[in-house]
Structure 1
Amino acid sequence: MDWLKEAVDYGIIWGLVFLSFISVGIAIERHLLYRHINLEKFSDRKSLEMVLTRKLHLIATIGSNAPYIGLLGTVCGIMLTFYSMGRDGFMDTGKIMVGLALALKATAVGLCVAIPSIVLYNLLLRRVKVLMMNWEIRNGREGV
């Protein structure tokens, strides 16, 4: 069961860190696009909306699933702790606390990935709505 500790530490936690970089990277790319987009280039609303919303679903997916991935790490860490307690029969509290700390670390990392991802998603979605409204005002069309 020692492989489980490594799986939680290196698999789940580093996986969450990687997802965090993806989320922030996409958010930066989208922000730069929104700053320099030329709304006059688009003749119809749907093509503009497709360009503006591209990749936003990835940020939302990362933000909504990161807590669950962290929870998976928590469950694995607690399982590891109980397994070690059962195998050894008698354990000192130090070993128990190390296993529980590993479990809580996975939860904390999951939340640290999810919260900024959801905030970034909402900020970018608001910017998309503003750009869409500006396009509609310039072109004299109402949204569908």
Structure 2
Amino acid sequence: MEFLKAYLDFAVFGLLGLMGFIALWITLERLFFYRRIRLQEYTHPEKLNIALTHNLTTLSTIGANAPYVGLLGTVLGILITFYDLGQGHSIDTGAIMLGLALALKATAAGIAIAIPSIMAYNGLMRKIDVINALYRADYPSAEK
């Protein structure tokens, strides 16, 4: 239990930090790609759609799972607090409440990663819809 106590925050916040970095990286990469895309290079609408949606599943997965990673950190933090309490250590009420409050920071961090990730995903999906509509309007003879 001491190992978990010592490394829980590093593991949870490290994983959430990595998820946040990947989400930001994908979002920026996609925005730059959409800005420089040349529709005339695509001969088929499905090839265009494949290029447009590249890595968006990863972004959606990060947005959907970041709260669960945070919740896992919270549950483990509460487990540690109750374990310490059950060991018979003389812990005052303030220390218990502090341990529980600190455990909740992992959930807050997970939500803080999830909200912008899902917002970015939804914004990028809207941009894909616009690009596909422009493609259909500008190249109606493209193979369908």
TM-score range (shorter-chain normalised) is over 0.9
1:47-126 correspondence runs (5 A): 47-126=47-126
C-alpha RMSD of the superposition: 1.5
Structure 1 residue 5: deviation in Å?
Answer: 2.5
After TM superposition, the structure 1 stretch with the greater mean CA deviation from structure 2, 62-71 or 93-102, is: 93-102
| Count of aligned positions | 143
Q: TM-score, normalised by structure 1?
A: 0.93
8 Å CA contact 1:8, 1:106 repeated in 2 = no
Q: Deviations over 1:3-32 (max 9, x none)?
A: 222332100112101110100011000000
Q: Distance in 2 between matches of 1:140 and 1:53?
A: 21
Divergent runs of 4+, >2 A: 5-8
Alignment map for 1:8-19 (pairs within 5 Å)? 8-19=8-19
Partner of 2:46: 46
Q: Secondary structure at the match of 1:43?
A: coil
Q: Look up the match of 2:31.
A: 31
Paired with 2:79 and 2:53, the residues of 1 have a C-alpha distance of 40
Q: Which runs of 5+ in 1 are unaligned?
A: none
For the residues of structure 1 that align with 2:63 and 2:5, how far apart are their CA atoms?
24
Percent of residue pairs identical: 44
Q: Which residue of 1 aligns with 2:5?
A: 5
State the Cα distance separating 1:102 from its structure 2 match: 2.5
Secondary structure of 2:5's counterpart equals helix
Structure 2 SS opposite 1:40: helix
